Amino acid sequence: MRNISKTVDAIESSLTLRIDSKAKAMKKEGKDLVLFTAGEPDFDTPQAVKEAAIEAINANFTKYTKSSGIIELREGICEKLKKDNGLEYSPDEIVVSNGGKQALFNIFGAILNPGDEVIVLTPAWVSYSPQIKMWKAKPTEVKTYPENDYLPQEEDLEKAITDKTKAILFNSPNNPTGAVYDKRTLEMLAHIAQKHDLYIVADEVYEKMVYDLPHISIASFDGMKERTLIINGFSKSHAMTGWRVGYSVASLNISKQISKIQSHTTSNINSITQKAALKALSVDTKYMMDEYKKRRDLISDMLSNANFKFFKPKGAFYVMVNMTEFLTDEKNTEDLCMELMEKAGVALIPADAFGAKGFVRISFATSQELIKKGINRLIEYLK
């Protein structure tokens, strides 16, 4: 047999999705398990959004649409960008995709040539590096540390930049650290991008989940709109993970490339979902965000009272806990997570694959009651 793609063969499948399905399968088989695995809101998709989808079906809105998405939705996204982020874009600069994941994959395809380097600020979500590699480019990891509130440092970036560096990718609010980049950090990133003529890929999918400081889009800084590519979506903001709807925001020349990629791969996203997303733009989900803040406070208090080592998240719905004291040469974080799942009845994600060796990620997109139950199980088992 001829060999297969070395690039794809060298990539791991998504760890978050893999562990989440394993935990869900165990639960289905009757195992008493509290899931802190996938970053998936436990809220139902708002009723008005579901009804818009039903109406779309009944109105036979079930055929191809423009590959980049229906004009009303792209116009609505432009209004959102203006209102929430102070950004002026035209509908041709938006491409609606199958979740933020596809938007990101399209963006990399639009800007990367083989051998280009992308700086990935870590700890980072598990899908960034594989996506970069799939376009035959190279992710360069630049670490951030809890001592600096997981904010990137200028000297670390300067050291990592080479003449092959094409872009800096970051995610704020951050999965998995819970960091939120403040104005000063964003100004530093903007300065570096301009100095070295780099793109910024800004994953803003958690923008609504900020607890201590506001979310600012780096594209709103002077001279940054042209070089910033934004990814966003409805999965987290409107509890719509299964609908698969996200989007990219980029200047017209890049959006044209993004549209080309999408037109040859998936075409438009589900037509019904597009109508649902259009409705979602007018549905206020502050009640969800207020509840996440309560959960953030609850989980932080519980972990802190039990003397766990962690960074109190300022945004998103994850907390990373340092587990090194419970690890040995024979037991890494993945082994520990398996043990916790089987013996303590609590499912966590090992954060090594996020670039945080010795840490686990806890998603608190689950009820306060389950947070109490799950964290108490963790305390009883480990402490």
Q: Which is nearer to ligand GLU, 44 or 147 (CB)?
A: 44
Please, what is the minimum distance in Å from the beta carbon of residue 22 to ligand GLU?
13
The span of 9-17, 107-115, 152-160, 223-231 binding ligand GLU (CB under 6 A) equals 9-17
Q: Which of 19, 33, 38, 347 binds ligand GLU (CB under 6 A)?
A: 38
Count of CB atoms situated within 10 Å of the CB of 229: 26
Please, what is the minimum distance in Å from the beta carbon of residue 91 to ligand GLU?
27
Please, what is the minimum distance in Å from the beta carbon of residue 96 to ligand GLU?
18
Q: Which of 11, 14, 138, 334 binds ligand GLU (CB under 6 A)?
A: 14
- Distance (Å, whole) CA 93 – CA 280: 20
**Could you say whether residue 16 binds ligand GLU (CB under 6 A)?**
yes
Q: Which is nearer to ligand GLU, 36 or 308 (CB)?
A: 36
Q: Which is nearer to ligand GLU, 19 or 118 (CB)?
A: 19
Q: Which is nearer to ligand GLU, 255 or 273 (CB)?
A: 273
**Could you say whether residue 41 binds ligand GLU (CB under 6 A)?**
no
Q: Which is nearer to ligand GLU, 125 or 221 (CB)?
A: 125
Q: Which residue has the tokens 């916790």?
A: 340
Q: Which is nearer to ligand GLU, 95 or 351 (CB)?
A: 351
The span of 11-19, 51-59, 88-96, 261-269 binding ligand GLU (CB under 6 A) equals 11-19
Sequence-separated (6 or more) residues with CB below 8 Å from residue 113 = 137, 166
The span of 12-20, 61-69, 106-114, 370-378 binding ligand GLU (CB under 6 A) equals 12-20
Q: Which of 175, 177, 268, 285 binds ligand GLU (CB under 6 A)?
A: 175
The span of 14-22, 81-89, 307-315, 374-382 binding ligand GLU (CB under 6 A) equals 14-22
Say if residues 138 and 115 touch (Cβ distance below 8 Å).
yes
Q: Which is nearer to ligand GLU, 14 or 376 (CB)?
A: 14
Bridge partners (DSSP) listed for residue 168: 119, 200
- Show the site string, 113-142: x = touches ligand GLU by CB under 6 A, - = not: ------------x-x---------------
Q: Which is nearer to ligand GLU, 16 or 102 (CB)?
A: 16
Please, what is the minimum distance in Å from the beta carbon of residue 97 to ligand GLU?
14
Please, what is the minimum distance in Å from the beta carbon of residue 206 to ligand GLU?
9
- Distance (Å, whole) CA 337 – CA 310: 17
Please, what is the minimum distance in Å from the beta carbon of residue 317 to ligand GLU?
10
Q: Which of 34, 36, 39, 278 binds ligand GLU (CB under 6 A)?
A: 39
Contact positions toward ligand GLU, by CB under 6 A? 14, 16-17, 38-39, 125, 127, 175
